[in-house]
Amino acid sequence: MISSIGNNANTLSSVPANRNTDTLNRTLNQLSSGKRVNSAADDAAGSAIIQQFAAQIAGNGQAVRNLSDGISLTQVADGALSQLSDNAIDQRTLAVAAGNSTLSPEDRAALQAQSDALSQSSQDILKNTQFNGQQLLQGNGFTLQAGANANETIAIPGTSLNSLSSPSGTLDLSSPTSAGNAISALDNDVTSINSSRATLGAISNRLSASANNLLTSNENLSAAKSRIGDTDYASASSTLIQSQIRNQADLAVRAQANASAGQVLSLLR
């Protein structure tokens, strides 16, 4: 019965001491890691919110990369369309020249040869323009995951220009009449190409705007995540000092309690 005096004193004082030690260790961990929430035990609700923010931020980041790929795709396609337009304009110039009835057969044959070479160049552009191994000018459409969540997609419609006269190799410059027909056909080509370029330009602008919105969203989400999860160094430093003072005080009280218990025991003996 007598020997329990010292043990009871230690037991009673150990409860707040253990609690204070937990606080001290947690605060030291917060200060060293820079994070207020290092595990769910620190703040279960806060930890769940932080994980949700982290998933959204990571998803948005990947979506920005997807959109960047889409922008690159539209740029490659637009570059090809620009070359097609240049070829059609050059062929139109040749057709205008061929509309002159004073040309010799040799002159007209030379104009036809130049036009045919441009037609072959345009054929090659239509067949070989690719992005990451996929055809861009054969009517294939693309879908981009443009956000972190389901159904946040942007479609890039397919571009098909196989009906153009310029790459068909059928333009005839053998007479002023056929040259006039070629001029009309090439005017239609230029109009079709410009329309496709306008569509791609609008889509590229939309992709850029979406990427900028996601970047802004990520900045805001990161700030919110930081407010919840990062260490407030002023507050944590204050808590650390208080915990250290309590810890030192507890040690002193426990030492005094043990000494007092020892004195009581010596008197009882």
CATH of the domain at 116: 1.20.1330.10
Put simply, whether the predicted model's pTM sits higher than 0.75 gets the answer: no
Distances (CA, A) of 143 to 30, 133, 208, 249, 265: 44, 16, 15, 66, 84
How many structural domains is the chain composed of? 2
Q: Which domain holds residue 238?
A: 4-34+233-268
What is the structure's pLDDT at 127?
95
What is the structure's pLDDT at 247?
58
Residue 20 included in any domain: yes
One domain, residues 100 and 223 = yes
Residue 51 included in any domain: no
Q: How far is it, in rounded angstroms, from Cα 112 to Cα 205?
A: 40
Distances (CA, A) of 29 to 42, 204, 222, 230, 240: 11, 47, 21, 12, 11
What is the structure's pLDDT at 149?
96
One domain, residues 104 and 178 = yes
* φ, ψ (nearest 5 deg) of residue 147: -160, 175
Q: How far apart are the first and last CA of the chain?
A: 13
Q: Which residues of the chain have pLDDT under 50?
A: 1-2, 5, 9, 12, 24, 31, 233, 236, 240
What is the structure's pLDDT at 171?
96
Residue pointed to by tokens 């690159």: 72
What is the structure's pLDDT at 240?
47
Q: How far is it, in rounded angstroms, from Cα 116 to Cα 44?
A: 73
What is the structure's pLDDT at 235?
55
What is the structure's pLDDT at 140?
92
Residue 49 included in any domain: no
One domain, residues 98 and 134 = yes
Residue 57 included in any domain: no
Q: How far is it, in rounded angstroms, from Cα 256 to Cα 27?
A: 28
Distances (CA, A) of 205 to 12, 77, 211, 244: 70, 14, 10, 58
Q: How far is it, in rounded angstroms, from Cα 86 to Cα 89?
A: 5
The per-residue b/e assignment along 176-198, b for 16 or more CB within 10 angstroms, e otherwise, is eebbeebbebbeebbebbeebbe
